[in-house]
């Protein structure tokens, strides 16, 4: 009797059938298809191992595959050995359940996936005929894929055929287009068929086409110009490389920018963005009257050197670092907030800033960032792992905790490799929060569900890291982050700052920097990243560079040349003020002060160290609860409650009519009508009223007997205007 092939399936029923078939010459001894390289890609291509089918956590109808084929051995056992080997029949392959259900010859919840004459059917049938062998250890393994072409400027209706090329460990390449899965992020710009054929849509813009093959992804960018591609951009003078690289993209897309904004718009915009406050009426007057051609750059320097810069960005960092007073961490939350302000005020390098958080150890009095760990105490290892990836590396790894990431290359091994840097972290049983320390051995008890072992530290897209018992692996993690060649760390911070100042990131969302979500201007993002590294992670340098660019200082009104632009910054994208800044702006415009218990009487809403200071106003305007590390916890959408609180609430009315407020003070000082109107406009909108506004305002005020109430109505109107509520 001839021996069976080396990769014979393990199921006893199949072994017997296969042995008999060998005797009668029914089985070919030709080289069989490799399970990992040829069979698993078909399961992915036809959606069998997708999250909506057998790839979901519980499987489907008793048949469970790993999501997108990330676990080759488990998938092989499930197909060939489980269910008593009924899914494949090596004696009569066409009677295999795997084939019968795929072609719709038997009831199948997923419906017909392909026909009996298709290439997929023939490959599967031949594999079963060859004995359904497992993946060969000696077979070349997939290293990466690329897509050809990678970018193309298209016209509506134009068709492009994509090719997906796989590179293997034996230096060979293979066209895997037919086995790849495709998806478009904006179908109206460009849609893609199952065969990788792109058809340009009717909407201008940019679409990203994702190709996925065996856990690897590649992307194609389809550009449908908004207008005729341009050789030059008229009436625009670049000030730094941000402008130059942005102009290059505008030329490709046929975009012309909105003219640079006027001084009044600029001072309001940049003061809100850099300090989280409105400029005072005196600051606006002085700025508008200043003839110095460098006054914008000088004002930016003044804002970045002010204590309000540190306070405002401490608020933004405190939100995504979940600095809270929950579980009795009240003093610790104050200490962490003050630590953030101190680091930002002294402009400590970003890697030092991050090290103070990730490698925090000891008691909160000495290491205030311990509060970051304390807020994750209920699910410490996983929360800290996910937050580290998302906040500091721009990678959303949460999916990879349970299965291969559906839109990225990250697997469970990558997730638990990052978690391995935190397994030695322990805490003592006293204090608020208690002291944290790094031990010589694992303290969490968490294990990788695939291996059953305590996770070993492993750098993302890198090697396993080894540490002695005396070393704290978290310092090794930050050392790796700060390496100039690290592809995530510096780029993530640069993109986050860009998103703050420009209204959306070069990669949007700012903390979702995956290969299948590419930057709208990758050359610009790369240049900013290298600049940040070259300047030793100087955050103020990066802020100054962005704020001084001509792109940042464009007007916000759309023009015929850019009205369809949504991602290439041909105009400034206006957005609503965040809750804390909006409350402070209402207070400033009305000359009142919201009081908060537990902080100095002069404290603004942006100075609050945590989220649990009672305020119906802040809650209505979507103050984040600080339960995630995602910027998306803040919503930019408007609600009916927000409209009512501004238009018809006692809280807003009391601020406007306050006896110590700005209108009462103007009348007490016997200011003239023109002076009062000017001050109201300067204080709320950071500009003088137009001639038409002056005329209408005078007509309205003259017609009302009670001048105090008339001016109150005027101020109320300004506060409810879009011009006041938005930074524009």
pLDDT in tens, 109-121: 889 999 999 988 9
Quick check: 258 and 557 in contact, CB under 8 A?
A: yes
Percent of the chain with pLDDT over 90: 72
Instruction: Name residue 197's beta-bridge partners.
Output: 161
pLDDT surpassing 70 at residue 27? no
pLDDT for the residue 40: 87
Least confident of 38-52, 273-287, 300-314, 537-551: 38-52
Q: What is the rounded average pLDDT for all residues in the chain?
A: 90
362 CB-side CA count, 13 A: 10
Strands of the sheet containing 190-192, edge to edge, are 159-161, 197-200, 190-192
CA 381 – CA 424 distance, rounded (Å): 10
pLDDT surpassing 90 at residue 516? no
The arithmetic mean of pLDDT across residues 490-499, rounded, is 98
CA 556 – CA 571 distance, rounded (Å): 5
pLDDT for the residue 404: 63
CA 403 – CA 669 distance, rounded (Å): 69
CATH number of 142-224, picked from 2.40.40.20, 3.40.50.2020, 2.60.40.1080, 3.40.50.620: 2.60.40.1080
Q: What share of the chain is helix, strand, coil (3-state, %, to 5)?
A: 45, 10, 45
pLDDT surpassing 70 at residue 701? yes
Measured between its terminal Cα atoms, the distance across the chain in Å is: 83
pLDDT for the residue 389: 95
Helix (H) or strand (E) holding 207, with range, is strand 205-213
pLDDT for the residue 499: 97
CA 412 – CA 439 distance, rounded (Å): 25
Give the pLDDT band of residue 377 (cuts 50, 70, 90): confident
Contacts with 82 (C-beta within 8 Å, 6 or more apart), sequence order: none
pLDDT for the residue 4: 37
Quick check: 360 and 373 in contact, CB under 8 A?
A: yes
Give the pLDDT band of residue 403 (cuts 50, 70, 90): low
CA 121 – CA 104 distance, rounded (Å): 12
For the chain, the structural domain boundaries read 12-129, 142-224, 309-481, 579-620+638-727
Give the pLDDT band of residue 460 (cuts 50, 70, 90): very high
Query: Which of 19-33, 300-314, 388-402 has maximum average pLDDT?
Result: 300-314
Contacts with 566 (C-beta within 8 Å, 6 or more apart), sequence order: 205
Percent of the chain with pLDDT over 70: 95
Residue count of the chain: 728
Query: Is 0.85 topped by the overall pTM?
Result: yes
Using one digit for the tens of pLDDT, what is the confidence trace for 537-557? 999 999 999 999 999 999 999
Give the pLDDT band of residue 438 (cuts 50, 70, 90): confident
CA 703 – CA 689 distance, rounded (Å): 19
pLDDT for the residue 512: 92
Give the pLDDT band of residue 405 (cuts 50, 70, 90): low
The arithmetic mean of pLDDT across residues 696-701, rounded, is 94
């Amino acid at each position: 009797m001839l021996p069976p092939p080396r990769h014979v399936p393990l199921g006893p029923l199949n072994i017997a059938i296969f042995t008999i078939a060998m005797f009668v010459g029914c089985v070919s001894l030709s080289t069989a298809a490799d399970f990992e390289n040829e069979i698993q890609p078909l399961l992915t291509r036809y959606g069998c191992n997708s999250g909506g089918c057998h790839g979901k956590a519980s499987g489907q109808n008793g048949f469970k595959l790993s999501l997108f084929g990330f676990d080759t051995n488990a998938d092989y056992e499930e197909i060939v050995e489980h269910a008593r080997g009924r899914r494949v029949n090596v004696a009569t392959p066409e009677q295999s359940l795997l084939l019968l259900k795929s072609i719709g010859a038997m009831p199948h919840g997923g419906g017909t996936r392909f026909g009996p004459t298709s290439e997929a059917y023939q490959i599967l049938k031949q594999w079963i005929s060859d004995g359904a062998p497992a993946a060969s250890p000696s077979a070349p393994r997939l290293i990466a894929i690329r897509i050809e072409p990678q970018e193309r400027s298209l016209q509506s209706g134009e068709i492009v055929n994509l090719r997906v090329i796989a590179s293997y460990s034996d230096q060979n390449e293979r066209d895997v287009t037919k086995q790849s899965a495709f998806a478009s992020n904006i179908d109206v710009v460009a849609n893609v068929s199952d065969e990788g054929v792109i058809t340009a849509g009717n909407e201008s813009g940019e679409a990203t086409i994702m190709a996925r093959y065996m856990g690897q992804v590649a992307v194609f960018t389809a550009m449908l110009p908004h207008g005729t591609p341009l050789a030059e951009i008229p009436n625009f003078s670049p000030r730094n490389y941000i402008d130059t690289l942005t102009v290059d993209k505008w030329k490709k897309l046929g975009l012309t920018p909105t003219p640079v904004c006027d001084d009044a718009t600029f001072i309001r915009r940049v003061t809100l963005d850099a300090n989280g406050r409105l400029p005072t009426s005196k600051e606006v007057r002085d700025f508008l009257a200043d003839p110095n051609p460098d006054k914008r750059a000088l004002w930016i320097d003044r804002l970045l050197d002010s204590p309000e810069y540190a306070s405002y960005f401490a608020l933004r960092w405190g939100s995504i670092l979940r600095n809270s007073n929950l579980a009795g961490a009240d003093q610790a939350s104050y200490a962490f907030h003050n630590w953030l302000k101190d680091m930002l005020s002294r402009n400590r390098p970003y890697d030092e800033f991050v090290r103070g958080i990730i490698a925090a150890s000891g008691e909160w009095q000495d290491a205030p960032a311990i509060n970051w760990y304390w807020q994750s105490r209920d699910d410490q290892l996983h929360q800290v792992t996910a937050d580290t990836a998302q906040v500091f590396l721009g990678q959303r790894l949460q999916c990879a905790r349970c299965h291969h990431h559906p839109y990225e290359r990250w697997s469970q091994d990558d997730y638990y490799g990052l978690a391995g840097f935190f397994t030695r972290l322990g805490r003592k049983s006293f204090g608020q929060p208690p002291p944290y320390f790094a031990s010589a051995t694992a303290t969490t008890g968490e294990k990788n569900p695939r291996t059953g072992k305590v996770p070993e530290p492993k750098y993302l897209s890198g090697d396993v890291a080894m540490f002695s018992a005396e070393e704290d692996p978290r310092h090794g993690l930050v050392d790796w982050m700060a390496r100039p060649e690290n592809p995530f760390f510096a780029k993530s911070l640069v993109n986050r700052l860009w998103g703050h100042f420009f209204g959306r990131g070069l990669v949007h969302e700012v903390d979702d920097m995956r290969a299948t979500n590419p930057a709208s201007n990758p050359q610009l993002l790369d240049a900013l990243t290298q600049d940040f590294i070259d300047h030793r992670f100087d955050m103020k340098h990066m802020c100054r560079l962005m704020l001084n660019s001509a792109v940042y200082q464009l007007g916000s009104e759309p023009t015929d040349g850019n009205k369809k632009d949504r991602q290439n910054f041909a105009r400034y994208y206006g957005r609503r003020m965040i809750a804390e800044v909006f409350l402070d702006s209402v207070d400033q415009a009305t000359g009142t002060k919201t009081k908060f218990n537990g902080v100095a009487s002069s404290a603004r809403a942006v100075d609050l160290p945590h989220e649990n200071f009672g305020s119906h106003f802040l809650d209505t305007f979507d103050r984040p609860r600080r339960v995630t590390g995602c910027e998306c916890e803040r919503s930019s959408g408007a609600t009916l409650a927000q409209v009512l609180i501004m238009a018809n609430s006692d809280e807003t009315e009391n601020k406007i009519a306050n006896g110590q407020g700005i209108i009462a003070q103007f009348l007490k000082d016997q200011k003239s009508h023109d002076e009062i109107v000017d001050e109201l406009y300067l204080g709320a909108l950071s500009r003088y009223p137009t001639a038409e506004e002056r005329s209408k305002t005078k007509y309205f005020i003259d017609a009302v007997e009670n001048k105090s109430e008339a001016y109150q109505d005027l101020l109320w109107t300004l506060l409810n205007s879009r011009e006041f509520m938005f930074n524009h």
